Amino acid sequence: MKNDLTCGVVRDLLPSYVEGLTSPESNTAVERHLSGCSDCAQLRTALAGAPEQAAPEDAKEVDYLKKVKRRGWRRVAAAVAVTVLVLTLGIAAKLFLIGEPAHWDYWENLLWTAHTNVPGQLDLHFYSEWSDIAYSHWMVENKNGIVRVSARQILPSFLHDVSDHWEHISLDGVREVWVADQLIWQGGVEISPQIDRIYQAQTPYVGDAPAVGRVLNALRFDTCGSYTLELHTSSAPYRLTLNFSVPQTSGKMGDSEKGLYQDMAAVLAIVGNLDEIECAFRDENGQPWSRVLTVEELNRDLPRIVADYNERFSHSKSCPLYDDVKDYAGSCADLEQLYDAMWWTGEGGIYAEAE
């Protein structure tokens, strides 16, 4: 191709030439013209440098995208931090402020004492021997004469650092007072946790060994040592025998021997068809001895037992006198008073010399 391209033709071809879209022959002709035409050569240089001039705009766009990405990561990190903080605050509030309903067990955790020193008022003092437990949100509800005291168990903090607490309850129109699921006062009688446990464990049949075992576990027979059970249920009278393995000397057991009559009377009252209970021992020489209490014997002695108790505690509510010891299983209050009266029976010697 001759060098006869005009400036107009070259300028039309230059964009395609710069992009590498023209044929080799056209390239040769354009380059021949450019070698002799400074204006067209300058235009070619300008066209070839356009991408470099656009680079700053691209860089700005890339910087903007980087900034958006950084802001996105910061927002994600902030959202995660807020979530963790909210969860931490929620857990802390649950442990130190909200807690959970207290399910008290007198024998393991919360302790309390009840006082009726003020007429018509029951004063309850709650305390715990565990330093890692506190209580809050105390509530006293009275529904139809049944009062329930409840609280929530939390971890100690500067907000609630102790478990010591007092409640003063008016007894006007009140029939029962409960702490959580334990009865502690009924009809003018303070109920011990032990009697509540015995009452809840009552069973109508001595032949139900697991149920009888729960009754015995609620009592204090184990203070005399370990024992095995022997049930006689083939014919009346139905008898329960506790065979103790630890040697004991008759008449030298002190309060443990007096306490036997409390526990035996409670078993006779709370096991519906039980007629007799025996605690069998051997002394240090292997000689057997025992204490036996029967429903017939106890029913015969009830007038004397109740009269002695009511005379001793004339300032308290009188213990009722029933014809049958089984009737004392009708309420915790009656069972509590029978149990207390049996202690003084042992003290007074009604059964102390029995063999």
Give me the pLDDT at residue 161, please: 60
Per residue in 125-160, pLDDT tens?
Answer: 988 776 677 788 889 999 999 999 988 878 877 776
191, with CB counted inside 10 A (0-12, 13-18, 19+), is buried
Residue 68 has pLDDT above 80, yes or no: no
Tell me the pLDDT tens digit for each residue of 271-300.
999 999 999 999 999 999 999 999 999 999
Predicted local distance difference test score (pLDDT) of residue 203? 96
Q: Which residue has the tokens 């033709």?
A: 9
Q: Note whether 342 and 265 are within 8 A (CB).
A: yes
- What is the mean predicted confidence (pLDDT) over 255-281? 92
Residue 267: partners with Cβ closer than 8 Å, 6 or more residues away:
215, 216, 219, 240, 274, 277
Looking at residue 90, the DSSP 8-state letter turns out to be H
Mean pLDDT of the 152-169 span: 79
Q: Read off the pLDDT band of 34 (50, 70, 90).
A: confident
CA distance 271 to 295: 11
For the ranges 40-44, 63-67, 134-138, 334-338, the one whose mean pLDDT is highest: 334-338
Closest CA to 300 of 274, 270, 267, 323: 323
- pLDDT confidence band for 164 (50 / 70 / 90): confident
Give how far Cα 29 sits from Cα of 21, 40, 47, 211, Å: 14, 13, 18, 116
> Which conformational region is residue 254 in: left (phi greater than 0), alpha (psi within -120 to 50 degrees), or beta?
left
Q: What percent of the chain has pLDDT over 90?
A: 45
- pLDDT, residue 351, reads 67
> How far apart, in Å, are the Cα atoms of 234 and each of 206, 215, 273, 275, 292?
11, 21, 13, 13, 19
Measured between its terminal Cα atoms, the distance across the chain in Å is 145
Whether pLDDT at 237 is above 90 = yes
Note the pLDDT tens digit of each residue in 188-224: 999 988 899 999 999 999 999 999 999 999 998 988 8
Q: Residues 23-45: what's their mean pLDDT? A: 84
Give dist(CA 299, CA 323) in Å, integer. Answer: 6
Which is nearest to 121 in space by CA: 196, 188, 193? 188
Q: Is the pLDDT of residue 18 over 90?
A: no
What confidence score (pLDDT) does residue 54 get?
A: 46
Examine the pLDDT at 255 and tell me if it is beyond 60: yes
pLDDT of 331 higher than 80: yes
The full set of domain ranges for the chain reads 7-48, 61-98, 110-191, 197-348
The pTM for the full model equals 0.69
The SS3 of residue 317 is: coil
Q: What is the mean pLDDT of the chain?
A: 84
**Residue 71 binned pLDDT confidence (cut-offs 50, 70, 90):** confident
Query: Strand runs (DSSP E) across 146-198, as ranges?
Result: 146-154, 165-170, 176-179, 182-186, 189-190
Reported confidence tier of residue 62, pLDDT bands at 50, 70, 90: low
Tell me if 145 sits within 8 A of 174, measured CB to CB: yes
CB 232 within 8 A of CB 239: yes
Alpha carbons 262 and 302: distance in angstroms, whole number: 13
One-letter amino acid at 135 equals: Y
- Residue 238: phi and psi, rounded to 5, are -75, 130
Instruction: List the single range of 32-36, 109-113, 214-218 with lowest mean pLDDT.
Output: 109-113
